[in-house]
Structure formats: structure tokens, C-alpha cells
Amino acid sequence: MQLLSSLLKRVSQGVLAPYGRVLLDLLQIEAAANMVSSVRTARQLFLGGLVMVILAMLAITGLVLAHFALYTLLPTPTNTIVLLALGILYLLVVALVLLWVSREKTWMELSGAAHKVDQATGKAPPD
């Protein structure tokens, strides 16, 4: 029995030995792909944070311009109406972008989860 076990062990080692290097190469490729994906995710997080800071600055500018325009609206010169319109436009742009960013569909698409769900359900071909 021990002879059979030893024989099977040696045969399996001999048969599987060439595949060990291939398996190691595949693991290295997978690790590199995960690293690239991590770098992409970090970049997207940085850019997302940058966009949020810019949106916050636009919102503050819009609020200041709208209040300044409303304060000076008493004589109603053309400049005041332009400032009011600009302030409202800034606030609308920020509101629309925030609405788009906060949608679940947007998060699913940007994270790649929608594609994975489509693959799992058979709606998209596997990678």
C-alpha cells in the first residue's frame, strides 16, 4: 500500500511539475492586473475628490454671487441681473452634477459592478 502511495505521489509530482511554473506565471499576471486596477481606482478616487472640491467652490461662489446680486437688486441694473443669473447657474450646475454622482446606476457603472453583474447573469460575454 505504501509503495502504491509513493508511486502515485511521484507520478503526480512528475506530471504536475511543468504546470507549477505556468501557475506561478498566471498568479504574477493576476497580481499585476490587480495592481493596475488598484492604481486606476486610486486615480479615480483622487479625481473624484478634486471634482468635489471644485463643485464645493462653485457652490460657494454661486451662493455669494446670488446673495450679492439680490442685495444690490434694488436699483436693478443689468450687472445685477447678470450676477443673479450667474449665481443661479452655478448652483444649478452643482446640483445637477451632485444628482448625477449620487445615482446608484452611476456608481454601478463607474465601479464596474454593472459589467460583472451582466457577466454573471449572462447578458455580457466573460472577459
pLDDT in tens, 6-50: 766 776 666 666 776 777 777 777 777 777 777 778 788 888 888
* DSSP category for residue 1: -
Decide: helix, strand or coil at residue 101: helix
Angle at 23 between CA 20 and CA 26, to 5 degrees: 155
pTM: 0.49
Q: How many Cβ atoms from other residues are within 10 Å of residue 116's Cβ?
A: 13
What are 41-90's pLDDT values in tens digits?
Answer: 878 888 888 888 988 888 888 888 877 777 777 666 777 788 788 888 88
